[in-house]
Structure 1
């Protein structure tokens, strides 16, 4: 059962990555100080998300796994509440960064909201995996 629950983390990883990729690609295209075509904007977004954000992704995935083992796997009752607690704990660095770095505030807010949505979607996936 533990592995099936951990496998549901794909929705968080893919969801956050996709939304951040779309946001940064659009942002790169409409940035007034730089002229880029769509291909260059997509490459810049991939580099920014994958390479610049590597520490984020490592921490994000590790925290998802640890909190799943601590909160959800031992007792999957009150799943929605536990997923919201997981969201609050993992999102707290983003809130700090959004306050500290105002030039990237929108990026962090989008990541926080996307993570909340994917956590709520994950509730259904975990319930399927448990049954």
Structure 2
């Protein structure tokens, strides 16, 4: 159970970076005139409401893969975390190819998820000791 609790870093990390990215993008997009408040609200709506299916799938896949890969045996943890990152990133890669207008959003999500997975290794090591 301690290992599952370390997923907070992935959820918070990906949410925060995507929120910052979409807010900054909303402010810099010359085709849309928004103030800071409107950009923040638009980012929250986009990430929370439009992305609700993503978040549900993301969390469920994290839990399933943790239960299958990491909880039974935490040896070779970095390799298992990288496998988890690859498996969960496949939809992002597909969406980046299918929706080129939002490609950078998905690339940012993939890179952020990799970084949070590597940070999560330390949390798992602390939790299992």
TM-score of Structure 1 vs Structure 2, range by shorter chain: over 0.9
Match for 1:47 among 45, 48, 54? 45
Secondary structure of the residue that 2:119 maps to in structure 1?
helix
Match of 1:31 in 2: 29
CA deviations over 1:43-84 (Å, ceiling 9, x no partner): 000000000000000000000000000000000000000000
Give the count of matched residue pairs. 129
| 1:94 and 2:92 correspond | yes
Q: Distance in 1 between matches of 2:99 and 2:39?
A: 22
Partner of 1:76: 74
TM-score (norm 2): 1.00
Please give the alpha-carbon distance, in whole angstroms, between the structure 2 residues aligned to 1:40 and 1:94.
26
Q: CA RMSD in A?
A: 0.3
User: How far 1:41 sits from its partner (Å)?
Assistant: 0.2
Structure 2: which 5+ runs fail to align?
A: none
Shift of 1:34: 1.0
Alpha-carbon distance in 2 for matches of 1:32, 1:109: 22
Give 3-state SS (helix, strand or coil) of 2:83's partner.
helix
